Amino acid sequence: MNITITGTGYVGLVAGVCFAEVGHHVICCDIDENRIKLLSQGVSPIYEADLDDLLKKNLENGRISFTTSCEAAYRETEAIFIGVGTPEQPDGSANLSYIATVARQIAETIEKDCLVVVKSTVPVGTNDKVEQFINDFLPDKHNGCDGGKKLKVEVASNPEFLAQGTAVHDTLHASRIIIGTNSKWAEEMLMKIYKPFNLPIVSVSRRSAEMTKYASNDFLALKISYMNDIANLCELVGADIQDVAKGMSFDERIGSRFLNAGIGYGGSCFPKDTKALEHLADEHGYKLRTVKAAIDVNSDQKTILFKKACKRLITFSGLKVAVLGLTFKPGTDDLREAASLVNIPLLLEQGAEIYAYDPVGIDNFKKVYAEGGHGRGSIKYVTNTDEALEKANVCFIFTEWKTVIETQPEMYKKLMKTPLVYDGRNIYSVIEMKDAGVEYYSIGRI
C-alpha cells in the first residue's frame, strides 16, 4: 500500500521505516528541511538500534522516501499516519497544535478517499475532533457543497507502544497492535496495513484505543514508583529491595519487569502521559489518586541521591564530580526528563567541577549545558569512564550504560581521590563495592 507518515521523530520515523521493511511504499513528511535532507541521505537524526541499517536498506530499494512537501505526501496516498509531537503544556495537558496543523494540511491537500491514522499520544476524544476538523476544512469540491462527490475521510487511532532504545524491535515484534476505529472500512484498512507484520491485532473503538495507550503507560509508571517507594522504606527497615523484587518476580500476577528500583522514570512517555491522564481526569471532575502518587514519588526520587550526598558532604564547591550517564536510559540519546537534567543544575549551583561521560548523549546535553563555566560550577565532557573518575571526589551514576556496568569496583578505588559513589541504578553489589574499598550508596539497599 501507499502510506504517508507525517512527522519524523521517534514515532513517525520508526513507523515509516518498519512499514517499508514489511513491503509498503512509504513517504515521510516533515517541515524540518535539514532533517529531511539527512534522512534522504540515509542518516538518521536520532540514535536508535537497527534504525540506520533499515533506513539505508529501504532507501536503496525505493520503498521509503522523504519530503517537506505536503502536496507530494498527501495527494495520492491511501493512508496517512500522524506521528507529530504532543508536548506537555504547563498545566500537564497535551499540546495538540501540531496535530491540528497537520489535520488542516491533509484536508486542503488530499485528492482521494483517505484513512487518517493518529499514532501520536492524544487525550481521549481527540480522534473525534481530528475527523471533524478535517471534514470542516475540506474544499467545496471535496465536501459535496458544490454538488461534487464528497471524499471519504475517516480517522483511526493506532497508538504506539515502543520503548526508546528498542523501538524498531518493539514495532516489528510487538506484543499486540491496538487499532481504534468507528467503521468497518477503517478497520479493514488497518488490518490490511498490518497484515504483513503477522502480529496479534486488538480492534476496539477509537476512544478505547486512546485510553489504552494512557492506561498502559501509566500502569508501568505506577509500578516503577511503587518499587521506588518500597525501596526507600527498605533502607529504613534494613531490607534489600533487590531481594524483595526477586521474591515478587516469581508471582505471575506481578511479573518480573519494571521491578528495578532507581532514581525514577524519564523519557518522552511516562512523565508526559501520567500528567496528561491526571489532567484529563481533573477536567472530568475525577481524581486519579494512584497516578498522582506515581507522579509525586517520581519527582522526589530523582534527587534522592543528591540529598544523600548533601548529608555526607559539607559542600560540592571545588570538588571534582564524575557523572556517569546523561540520557534517561541506555540505548538512546534522548534526555527528556532525565535525572541528569535535575541533578546537574543542583551540583553546578554548589560549585561542582563536573566531568560528564555518556556514550551517545553528550552532543544533546551540550545544547543544554555548553562545556565550561556555569555560575559557581563548571562542566567538562569526557570520552570514557576512566577520565571522568580520575582524581574525582565523588561519583554519581545516572544511566546504566554497558560501559559503566563494565567498570569494575576496584577502578573506583584506584582512580578516584575519594572513592565515594552514589549509584542511581543499583549496578553494583553492595558487598563487592565495600570489599573494593568504595564508600557506596544506592537505592533501597544498605
> Which residues are catalytic, by number?
269
Quote the DSSP letter at residue 374.
E
- For residue 321, CA distances in Å to 93, 124, 233 come to 37, 45, 28
Helix (H) or strand (E) holding 440: strand 439-441
C-alpha cell at 254: 506481578
Residues 424 and 228 sit within 8 Å (Cβ to Cβ): no
Dihedral pair phi/psi, residue 134, rounded to 5°: -65, -45
Among residues 324, 300, 328, the alpha carbon closest in space to that of 231 is found at 300
Q: List, as own/partner pairs, every contact residues 274-277 make where C-beta atoms lie below 8 angstroms and the sequence separation is at least 24, other chains included.
A: 274/217, 274/218, 274/221, 274/298, 275/88, 275/92, 276/88, 276/92, 276/93, 276/94, 276/121, 276/123, 276/214, 277/214, 277/215, 277/218
Phi-psi bin for 271: left (phi > 0), alpha (psi -120 to 50), beta? Answer: alpha
C-alpha cell at 434: 565495600
Q: How far is 398 from 358, CA to CA, in rounded Å?
A: 10
Using the CB atoms, write b or e for 72-86: b if 16+ within 10 Å. Answer: ebbeebbbbbbbbbb
CA torsion 140-145-147-148 (nearest 10°) is 40
Q: How far is 323 from 387, CA to CA, in rounded Å?
A: 11
Length of the chain: 446
- 30 three-state secondary structure: coil
Q: How far is 268 from 11, CA to CA, in rounded Å?
A: 11
